[in-house]
Structure 1
Amino acid sequence: MTLHRTEAKEPAAPSSLAPEGLRATLAELRRLAELPLERGQTLPSQAYTSPELYEWEVERIFRREWLCVARAEEIPQPGSYLRLDILGTPLVITRDEEGELHALSRVCRHRFMDLLPPETAPEHGCLERLTCPYHTWAYRLNGQYAGQLAGAPLMQRVDFDRAGCRLPAHRVEVWNGFVMLNLDPGAGPAAPELRGLDLRLNSHGIANWVSVHTQTWEGVPANWKVAVENGSENYHHMGTHAQSLDPVLPGRYTEVDECDGRWFTMFTPLSDAERGGTGLGRHSRSGRGARPGMLIAGIFPQFVLAVLPGSAISIRWLPTGPATHDTRITAMVPPGVPDTPGFAEQLVDIRAQIARIQEEDLVAVRGVQRGLDSHPTPSNGRFSHLERPLWQFQRYLAERLL
């Protein structure tokens, strides 16, 4: 079933700006991106271990691309803030009196102090102004003046341009209730590239769903792409999740859509046993709306959303080094569900399931990274048809890195 298809773009030659040591890896990426899925191969091991490639990815992808960083409900009202650290960039997301979000630098313009140091400031909160705890310089948070200096004590005796003192701001958009951030002031808007995915998600109405649990795993010892690839296919259900997910959502019956570009989708029907042996699922040719199951929607480079009947799980990955990353998982449900009788018990189960599945995935991604670091260097593997999103990911990487 084809939901979205664009003509493949011809990857450019490896960039002449790339360090010489990267050119062989980028040339191999170019070769792989040109292969059809039927002959698709995995990236070479150095794509997951090279510090030089990691720096190239940070500059060419993560500092230029729209990244999913939060749920808008985490900044619920005027004066609310959320502290973030993105690839060494200390940030704070705030909401003004008109309800608009702003992404501001968290570094004071005086002596570079963190305005919301994690040693003393909560990750979330509400305040009227952003005040530096070092010398009490204060910054406005209202509307067009967000980030503007509001007060700098005892600066009257020096030549100082108060009007020109302002915290740098970064672009932010809200997509289906998720906060999207871009560190590149010249980037285009996020919405046009995701229009096709919007059509796929419209019937679920997740923009207004509420978060009920978030958990973060920091410093996972694996390259960020290992984690993204693991989260972008259900082929591994039969192995990694043989006792947890596969009996409920058999990965072998996943239907992967023919997408291209920044996003992908796939659908795994619930097992017959989970539906009381109705015979629906893989044997049914009816529309997906008639079948319960799990819709996976991914946005490269670092976001996957799993939508189930009555709940959803979002996963965000952020690299922290060539061979480490952070994983943040959030469970969401429709409005009103948390107030229903028995939900507290359901939430206990949701938390336990997330923890179990993530721990199983951690075994996999750590094991893959050890394999990539082994000697002699492992050769390229081959893709299953269920790994189409990984083949698509290579084409995305080629477009951004070459």
Structure 2
Amino acid sequence: MNRTGEVHDTIAETIRVEGARILATLIRTVGDVQTAEDAVQEAGIAALGAWPVTGIPPQPRAWLTVTARRKAIDILRRERVRPDKEQDALRLIELSRPDLPSEDVVNDDLLRLIFICCHPALSPPTRIALSLRTLCGLSPAQIAEVLLTTEAATTKRLTRARQKIAAAGIPYRVPAESELADRLPAVCGVIHSLYTAGHAPVEGQAAYDVDACAEAVRLAELLHELLPEQPMPAAVLALLLLTEARRPSRLDEHGDVVLLECQERSQWDASTISRGIALLNDSLTRTNRQADPYQLQAAIAAEHARAASYDETDWPEILRLYDLLMSIAPSQAVVLARAVATAEAGDPAAGLGLLAELPPSPRWHSVRAELLARQGLYAEAAQALTEALDGPATAPERRHRERRRKAFRTLSD
């Protein structure tokens, strides 16, 4: 790769990893999402023009932040024909300050941005769209795929959300304690969704997005620090830590998928598991052991983490927890996981029956293949994996399905 290509890759990576933080800081100052997004985009364009000539600066994020502030000033000056000149003048004064925000301020800004995205004045799909746009940097087209809608509809949804935030005068701040009850579940949902997107991407070359997972954990830590007495943030953090602690064993040295029963458990982070279990226990104590969906998911992760080996996993207890989760927060993902737990608890036929309740998907076909193989139906299992391979998958997952299909075909001969 030539030098220009390397510089472009560095800019893209910096914006991907740091863009949400830069955007969050700018939104606090400007008070307008669209202006902040335009300024960050213009800063990226400026970097594409400058860095190949001057070299990559020692602190790329700081360079982009300063440049984005200057671009925001230019945008506001161009738009001062609008009637809100006094407000723009105040924003210009704030933007003209020479100092850069500390990391602590950046962290607070990003958390404030999550709370804005999850304001109860916005509908649940709009909260998701706005969060995926501002926190994850996904394009309208990518968000449309997540929400199963069109790019045009997503763009309109985002525009309406920004207009509603501006018209309602929704403040850029962590809400008062009296407002938390309405917003906290959505905030926790966004953080959990961000981690899920990184932990189990739909497609791409990597089995997981390390940066997205780390960012979700960081945000969960920040939310727990902000609200240490609240059980839900503690449960979300526990769930993420218990899942993250086992990530090193998911791939082998070649980057290929390792099934749970074959994973080397000595690679699991014991200290992170201990902290996750402690957070879960504290969260359950605060709710008198009346579990919410995050507590139940964390309890399931804890059962996996506690097992010294695959054979020692308490599958009946995991199945019981999934039954509870289905009773309070049913979803297709829970049905799929419950089908696997049912099979692992000794009844693969019943697991297959549960799958029949769901619409087919690549993941559905893959799970079905494993349950068919449990019953010795290897030809059917191979065919199910052929159907799974027709859909999107990460490169490691695709290789894994191809290997399993080959093995099942051999067993069926």
TM-score range, shorter chain: under 0.3
Structure richer in helix, relative to its length:
2
Which of the pair has the greater relative contact order for Cα pairs under 8 Å at 6+ separation?
1
Structure richer in strand, relative to its length:
1
TM-score by length of 2: 0.26
